[in-house]
Amino acid sequence: MDNKNVGFPTSAGIWLGLGLGGFFDGIVLHQILQWHHMLTSAGYPPDSVHNQQVNTLWDGLFHASTYVFVIIGLATLWRAAHRNHVWWSGKMLFGTILMGFGIFNLVEGVVDHHLLGIHHVNETVARDQWLYWDIGFLAWGAMMLVAGWVLLNAGKRETLGRSHPQ
């Protein structure tokens, strides 16, 4: 059996984690808690119907992109599952999903919160506290990335020597 075709599809978990991280951000932070929207710090604060309409559109485009990430992850996982392969530890999938979620937080946090400043994690608190929430978001992402990496490697060790159940 060709080793190229037996490995765990790490990219599938990363894509799924990116999408799930985006869904969490959009659903929990944008919609449920309403701490921010996509462009609330980019000249569209939630203080008028027009600004809410602009943010709703951009929140929707954001959700559409995270939906695409999940579809890519599922397609990658599906394609890999149809090959002959060794047994995969659940730790590998959960670990790579955590890694993708963490990568989402780190990239989105650095780009949107710090470089572009289009929104911040919690805009319902005093402005001088925004940085603390933004840094906490990055720390949370880094912890998920590290925890995912640890789980992925534990799963790889667990998988060594096991064959696909017949």
Q: Are 90 and 146 in contact (CB under 8 A)?
A: no
Measured distance CA(38)–CA(40) in Å, rounded: 6
Q: What pLDDT shows up at residue 85?
A: 61
**This prediction's pTM:** 0.86
Q: Are 36 and 120 in contact (CB under 8 A)?
A: yes
Domain limits of the chain? 3-159
pLDDT in tens, the chain (166 residues): 344 445 789 999 999 999 999 999 999 999 999 999 999 999 999 999 999 999 999 999 999 999 999 999 999 998 888 776 667 888 999 999 999 999 999 999 999 999 999 999 999 999 999 999 999 999 999 999 999 999 999 998 888 766 555 4
Measured distance CA(76)–CA(8) in Å, rounded: 11
Task: Give the count of beta carbons closer than 10 Å to the beta carbon of residue 114.
Answer: 13
Nearest to 116 by CA among 2, 36, 12: 36
